Amino acid sequence: MTIMTGRCPQTVPSRPLKVALVGECMIEMRGDPASGFSQTFGGDTLNTAVYLSRLSPASHLVTDYITALGADSFSDAMRQLWRTEGVGDRHVRVIDGALPGLYFIQTDAQGERRFLYWRGEAAARQMFDGPQGDGLLETLADYDYLYLSGISLAILTATGRERLFQALRRARESGTRLVFDNNYRPHLWPDAEAARQAYVEVLRLTDLALITWEDDALLFGYADAEALFEAYAGFGVSEVALKRGEAACLIQCAAGRLEVPAEQVRQIVDTTAAGDSFSAAYLACRLQGGDPSLAARWGHRLAAQVVQHRGALIPRAAMPNLALPLFSSAVEA
């Protein structure tokens, strides 16, 4: 069985692969003031971590989440949820007196969502700051793969972000591969130029980029997909999956340019986590030996199911049946 690397396939070792996702999990409230609210938890990289864990046999993949939380009941409940979903919390920094961020989701009749955030003082902003941040940064090189998003970068303090870049360089030198989902949110950055500089910094270290077209067109001003793929080749990114909503996914990889049609959805209920779930399924397939075309089909299938349910995390019973019948070779030591 083979998996992606920066340039070419490699043999999977006999131990499970280790993947860490870096970011922020928040308290999620859904509803409106007139009819009341329901409460759960969510966040882009956390959503991806849960779906990645659901789609990956425990014997093949260890999935951890790296963040900072408080010592409060909401933080404790978050961590319990992660463990229930098979997502490890052993590298969560606890900051006394800090709290998780909070957001409200409201959706319109077409399933498009509107978010209201309270995250300025969230614990996750400080995860890599100070001497206690050193411990988290040192763990990054212990993983085969690291996954982070544009939101992961945006929430950090400027100091924490720079320390993360330094740690990512060290991790990559030791063989860790980096997966990046662009998820550009303008309101989280002081200005677009600060975001562009941070994105370029991380893209130069990235092996697999999972990109939402609208976000990159807004941030970098790409005129079309060809311009985007040319820029990413210049950054040294060896595999790019370009997510375009209901349109076909475009992939640039060692096999060349691929186009994988999206699945048609009769009724969209809520688009929350559509991109996060696509990324999770794509990565799960690639780490189990699937080729990029099959990985995109996995991504489309899961995203199509997710948008037919409310909330970021659909019930386990609603998960689509995804399998890899093509791959039967034994794992080599």
How far apart CA 25 and CA 12 sit, in angstroms, is: 30
Residue 329 in domain: no
What six digits make up the tokens of 42?
Answer: 């969510």
The neighbour count for residue 267, using CB atoms within 10 Å, is 8
Regarding predicted confidence, which is higher, 325 or 87? 87
Segment 22-78, tens digit of pLDDT = 999 999 887 777 777 888 898 999 999 999 999 999 999 999 999 999 999 999 999
pLDDT of residue 114: 73
Residue 332 in domain: no
**Measured in Å, how far apart are the chain's first and last C-alpha atoms?**
11
Residue 185 in domain: yes
Residue 151 in domain: yes
How far apart CA 286 and CA 199 sit, in angstroms, is: 23
pLDDT of residue 9: 38
For residue 282, report the phi and psi dihedrals to the nearest 5 degrees: -60, -50
Segment 6-27, tens digit of pLDDT = 333 344 557 899 999 999 999 9
What six digits make up the tokens of 234?
Answer: 């210049």
Residue-by-residue DSSP string for 154-177 = HTS-HHHHHHHHHHHHHHHHTT-E
Q: Is 181 a catalytic residue?
A: no
Instruction: Provide the mean pLDDT of the chain.
Output: 90
What six digits make up the tokens of 182?
Answer: 């662009």
How far apart CA 80 and CA 78 sit, in angstroms, is: 5
Q: Tell me if 175 sits within 8 A of 207, measured CB to CB.
A: no
CATH classification of the domain holding 55 = 3.40.1190.20
pLDDT of residue 5: 46
Residue 38 in domain: yes
Segment 162-211, tens digit of pLDDT = 999 999 999 999 999 999 999 999 999 999 999 999 999 999 999 999 99
pLDDT of residue 110: 63
Phi-psi bin for 278: left (phi > 0), alpha (psi -120 to 50), beta?
alpha
pLDDT of residue 120: 76
Candidate list 44, 144, 207, 276, residue with the active-site label: 276
How far apart CA 176 and CA 145 sit, in angstroms, is: 6
How many domains would you assign to the chain? 1
The neighbour count for residue 247, using CB atoms within 10 Å, is 12
pLDDT of residue 27: 92
Segment 201-234, tens digit of pLDDT = 999 999 999 999 999 999 999 999 999 999 999 9
Residue 328 in domain: no
